[in-house]
Amino acid sequence: MHGSEGGIGLGGKSGASLMGSDLYNNLTKYFVNHLQGLREVAETLQDEALLRYYAAEWDRYTTGANYINRLFTYLNRHWVRRERDEGRKNVYPVYTLALVQWKACLFIPIQRQQKLAGAILRLIENQRNGETIDQGLVKKVVDSFVSLGLDETDTNKACLDVYKEHFEGPFIETTETYYNHESESFIASHSVSDYLKKAEERLKEEEDRVDRYLNTGTRKPLISKCEAVLIRAHSELMWDSFQNLLDFDKDEDLQRMYSLLSRIPEGLEPLRKKFEEHVKKAGLAAVSRLVGESASRGEGGDAVEPKPYVDALLEVHRKNSDTVTRSFRGEAGFVASLDKACRDFMNRNAATGTSNSKSPELLAKHTDLLLRKSNKVAEEGDLEGALNRVMILFKYLEDKDIFQTFYTTRLSKRLIHGVSASDESEASMISKLKEACGFEYTNKLQRMFTDMSLSKDLTDQFKARMEQTHDDIDISFSIMVLGTNFWPLNPPGHDFIIPQEMQATYDRFQRYYQMKHSGRKLTWLWNYSKNELRTNYTNQKYILMTSTFQTAILLQFNRNDTLSLDELHIATSIPKDHLVQVLALLTKAKVLVSEEAGQYDLNPNFKSKKIRVNLNQPIKSDTKAESTEVMKTVDEDRKYVIQATIVRIMKARKTMKNQALLDEVISQLTQRFTPKVPDIKKAIDTLLEKDYIERVDGTRDTFAYLA
């Protein structure tokens, strides 16, 4: 029954059924008559007065309907249930009947001109404009819209049809219109920063509105519409102003912009691209400043020092990493943009030029300085933190094998010269590299420490043997026997005449080692050896710390007062070009004097503030040779690594097309270095020649593995 006074027609029913039918029909008439009076009053009212009257009468009516429903429990339980079971869906339990009549006799007639919904929407607009409204009143009326929804199949089931049709639809439309107008006018007279705050506030207000007096089902369409109007419609403007916020470190505004744009599809992607470009520019600019400062000091662009270089790159990373964490909540897309930008400026900048070895070299040299005894960071106790910061940049190196070779070379020198800050720090760094690149990457490094330990034992055993058999030994002697495969050390490329003062000890150790390890060959690395000499010719006795080549030169003056360059060359076999550089260090330190060109004398008036005088300084040509030697080693190693990778892949796959093989090799090696396609093709040709693989008959670009 929807608003009519006609009764339920029941033919051929028992007296009880007829009584139930009469009772139901009379109850319907009662509801209709009551509501007719309410409707007449309601039609005279407008806006808030209408809402107050409607809400008060709704409260009174539903309370009464509850009482009547209980009173007619028997009717509901028997007659109404039987009627509905027989398919008469227009028969309702008494409370539902009351709601059906309210909807038909009062709600629909009033709402026909949108009077009720219109009054609510005007109140909501007033609230949006800053006025205080009776939220409880709005909630009561809105809740009545929900209650009036009826599921014909199940009267107990909630149905939002009435709420959606009469309130939610118009509400969403007016919301769109309101915010379209407001956002356009606000942007025209305010900054983007102000608009971000405004949009954030408005979205929060709408979220609160749902919680206070709307049905929770409205949240999704309402917020979606607000996001479309407040964010998507003005996203271009936000994207365009993003760079300015980054340049001036406007953290709060960046947080707001991220928070807003993350709510719409693809809203963040333009920001990620701009952020990547921003970080890249910052990194390149930082290195360009360093190169410029070096050039202004007359050092040239190649003379960038490791520490300022690493510090500059770390500062760019730190600042932008903080921005990602603080302003972009560590979102994965922004982390990826930061990583990509850092990888770009780390490997290609004003200091590296076209070289792919400069960044790995500078980072390895910086790490070397950190791990030396003379380093202040080690003294301050923040060495572990400094090594962790090195690993941040290490992650971005494309050619990690170049870093590995430089690092291995520098580690070998720290160990040989005993200048490591501590074994714990060395072990910590190796552990970090192992975690980043795997066991194979650090295998040689760990073997170097094993050799050092074995060498210490060997020295102790040799000394004990000499004390038993040669009590005339008057030279303090220690030896390091290092495995050729694990140490990046090369013997001098020239002959060397051992000074007679050292010859006896040299011969004795040679014999001792051959007796202990027959079949092994010792190659003496005089270019890495060092000595200490006592001065007996000066009033103040000094200890001179020298290289073995310096020692060989100075010991000649035990038997001669003055010597020429030619005589020293004949006595030591050191090539003249290298000999000149060694002599230059000794004359600069004033241990030797050269009053005539090519003639050298011992300086009897030598003086120094220190008792222990370190003369063993690096020669520039050695430093340059190190870089050349490292790159030569790297190129050689890469050939074998590429070949080994191809063999490993082919062994697993058996047959493979050329392009797929190239892609797989690049994929497997990218973590260590980026192999060049021509190098991979050369490796394939080499393996074809060596019969590791063969071309499949009848094809031009397919290879098969040969077991």
Q: Indicate the DSSP class of residue 538.
A: S
Q: Which two tokens stand for residue 422?
A: 């501590």
Q: Residues 594-646: pLDDT tens digits?
A: 888 889 999 888 898 999 999 988 776 555 666 777 778 888 888 888 999 99
Q: What are the φ and ψ backbone dihedral angles of 357, each rounded to 5 degrees?
A: -105, -10
Q: What is the DSSP string of 398-418?
A: S-HHHHHHHHHHHHHHHHHHT
Nearest in space to 236 (alpha carbons), one of 279, 192, 198: 192
Mean pLDDT score across all residues of the chain: 88
Q: What is the DSSP string of 413-436?
A: HHHHHT-BS-HHHHHHHHHHHHHH
Which residues does residue 79 pair with via DSSP β-bridges, in sequence order? none
3-state secondary structure of 455: helix
Q: How far apart are CA 308 and CA 359, in angstroms?
A: 12
Q: Indicate the DSSP class of residue 587.
A: H
Nearest in space to 317 (alpha carbons), one of 279, 288, 267: 279
Nearest in space to 212 (alpha carbons), one of 131, 121, 142: 142
Q: How far apart are CA 463 and CA 555, in angstroms?
A: 24
Give the right CATH number for 622-705 from 1.10.10.10, 3.10.450.50, 3.40.1440.60, 1.10.20.10: 1.10.10.10
| pLDDT at position 7 | 46
| pLDDT at position 245 | 94
Is CATH 1.20.1310.10 what the domain over 16-226 is classified as, yes or no?
A: yes
Q: How far apart are CA 356 and CA 372, in angstroms?
A: 26
Question: What CATH number was assigned to the domain covering residues 529-617?
Answer: 3.30.230.130
Q: Residues 93-137: pLDDT tens digits?
A: 999 999 999 999 999 999 887 889 999 999 999 999 999 999 999
Q: What is the 3-state secondary structure (H, E, C) of 192-259?
A: HHHHHHHHHHHHHHHHHHHHHHCCHHHHHHHHHHHHHHHCHHHHHHHHHHHHHHHHCCCHHHHHHHHH
Q: How far apart are CA 223 and CA 215, in angstroms?
A: 13
Confidence band, pLDDT 50/70/90 cuts, at residue 406: very high
Residue 265 CB-density burial (10 A; 0-12 exposed, 13-18 middle, 19+ buried): exposed
Residues in contact with 173: Cβ distance below 8 Å, sequence separation at least 6, in sequence order: none
Mean pLDDT of 419-432: 91
End-to-end CA distance of the chain: 89
Residue 618 CB-density burial (10 A; 0-12 exposed, 13-18 middle, 19+ buried): exposed
Q: How far apart are CA 563 and CA 554, in angstroms?
A: 10
pLDDT at 2 > cutoff 50: no
Sheet with 543-547, edge to edge strand ranges: 530-534, 543-547, 612-614
pLDDT at 197 > cutoff 60: yes
Supply the pTM of this predicted model. 0.80
| pLDDT at position 352 | 87
pLDDT at 5 > cutoff 80: no
Q: Residues 651-691: pLDDT tens digits?
A: 998 888 889 999 999 988 887 888 889 889 999 988 888 88
Mean pLDDT of 506-532: 88
Residue 339 CB-density burial (10 A; 0-12 exposed, 13-18 middle, 19+ buried): middle
By DSSP bridging, strand 693-695 and strand 592-593 are unpaired
Q: How far apart are CA 281 and CA 649, in angstroms?
A: 39
Nearest in space to 166 (alpha carbons), one of 120, 107, 117: 117
Query: Taking the domains of the chain in order of start, what are their residue ranges?
Result: 16-226, 529-617, 622-705
3-state secondary structure of 541: coil
Sheet with 655-657, edge to edge strand ranges: 655-657, 702-705, 693-695
Q: Residues 535-586: pLDDT tens digits?
A: 988 888 999 999 999 999 999 999 888 999 999 999 999 999 989 999 999 9
* Chain CA centroid to CA 351, Å: 24
Nearest in space to 309 (alpha carbons), one of 388, 376, 363: 363
